[in-house]
């Protein structure tokens, strides 16, 4: 039997982690927290409530792919982890590489929606976020933004490709740590293993580097300048070995393509144009 955790982590490397949402083996007994897997470190994420009490039930699809519906009807479900230097990829002087990704299936696009973020108030030092930028009522684009709070400025990259409602998508953002006025030259976006050939990069001449702040690490939620939670994800989020991941390296196109193929096998799929209706239960 294939070990999908091992296959994914082998690609993420020695600094990679998976947040295995919905895998009871990686959660505490009350199922209120989940601990990352991977050589990058052991980080505890606390759900906004026990995962069994979420407004939407846990579903299983395929050989090993768990999908936990977060927030497609609500605006309060999330998972947070305390500040840790691991998630910070700048020191105020220079940036370092990282990659972040997840499997998602959108249910609605009422607003921009967060996948993962290291962000809080300006006092806590916003660092970066990866989210889906709303295009219209039925689609969204991939979006990665970095923050240099000493200025403050925030360069970003937005995909040319979109994700539609009910579409299963494997989305990834990578950054090589370029930093400076042309930081976004070092950023790339991927959908279903394919690099976006024509993203829109918005640079800022005053940008130097992200700073090592004190904000919490969030999945499927963000914080605005008033320190209020917002930009909740209205989608199914991959869990288990297909949970959101983070690594302190820039993944290559070949890496991302391989991760996509691993995910398809875990989901018993050869292609992913649309995701069929879920089977309820585990």
pLDDT string in tens for the chain (282-residue length): 789 999 999 999 999 999 998 888 999 999 999 999 999 999 999 988 888 777 665 555 666 555 555 544 455 677 899 999 999 999 999 999 999 999 988 887 777 888 899 987 766 688 999 999 999 989 999 999 999 999 999 999 999 999 998 888 999 999 999 999 999 999 999 999 999 999 999 999 999 999 999 988 988 766 655 556 656 676 788 888 999 999 999 999 999 999 999 999 988 775 443 333 322 222
Place of tokens 């997840």: 102
Please enumerate in sequence order all residues whose Cβ is within 8 A of that of 28, keeping only pairs 6 or more positions apart, or say none: none
59 backbone dihedrals φ, ψ, rounded to 5°: -120, 155
CB atoms within 10 A of CB 114: 25
Q: Both ends of the chain: CA-CA distance in Å?
A: 19
Determine the Cα angle at 224 with ends 31 and 72, to 5°. Answer: 45
The pLDDT tens digits of the residues spanning 226-271 come to 556 656 676 788 888 999 999 999 999 999 999 999 999 988 775 4
CB atoms within 10 A of CB 225: 11
């Amino acid at each position: 039997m294939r070990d999908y955790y091992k296959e994914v982590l082998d690609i993420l490397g020695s600094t990679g982690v998976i947040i295995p949402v919905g895998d009871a083996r990686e959660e505490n007994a009350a199922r209120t927290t989940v601990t990352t897997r991977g050589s990058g470190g052991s980080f505890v994420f606390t759900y906004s409530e026990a995962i069994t009490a979420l407004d939407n039930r846990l579903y299983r699809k395929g050989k090993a792919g768990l999908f936990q519906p977060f927030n497609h009807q609500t605006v309060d479900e999330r998972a947070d982890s305390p500040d840790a230097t691991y998630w910070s990829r700048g020191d105020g002087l220079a940036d370092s590489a990282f990659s972040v990704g997840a499997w998602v299936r959108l249910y609605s696009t009422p607003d921009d929606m967060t996948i993962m973020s290291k962000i809080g108030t300006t006092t806590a030092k916003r660092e970066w976020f990866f989210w889906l930028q709303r295009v219209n009522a039925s689609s969204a684009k991939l979006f990665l933004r970095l923050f240099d709070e000493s200025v403050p400025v925030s360069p970003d990259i937005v995909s040319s490709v979109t994700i539609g409602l009910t579409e299963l998508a494997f989305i990834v953002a990578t950054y090589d740590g370029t930093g400076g006025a042309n930081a976004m030259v070092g950023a790339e976006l991927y959908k279903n293993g394919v690099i976006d050939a024509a993203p829109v990069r918005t640079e800022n001449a005053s940008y130097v580097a992200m700073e090592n702040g004190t904000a919490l690490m969030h999945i499927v939620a963000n914080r605005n300048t008033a320190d209020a939670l917002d930009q909740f994800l209205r989608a199914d989020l991959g869990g288990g070995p297909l949970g959101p991941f983070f690594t302190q390296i820039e993944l290559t196109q070949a890496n991302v393509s391989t991760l996509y193929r691993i995910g398809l096998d875990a989901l018993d799929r050869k292609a992913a144009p649309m995701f069929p209706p879920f089977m309820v239960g585990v």
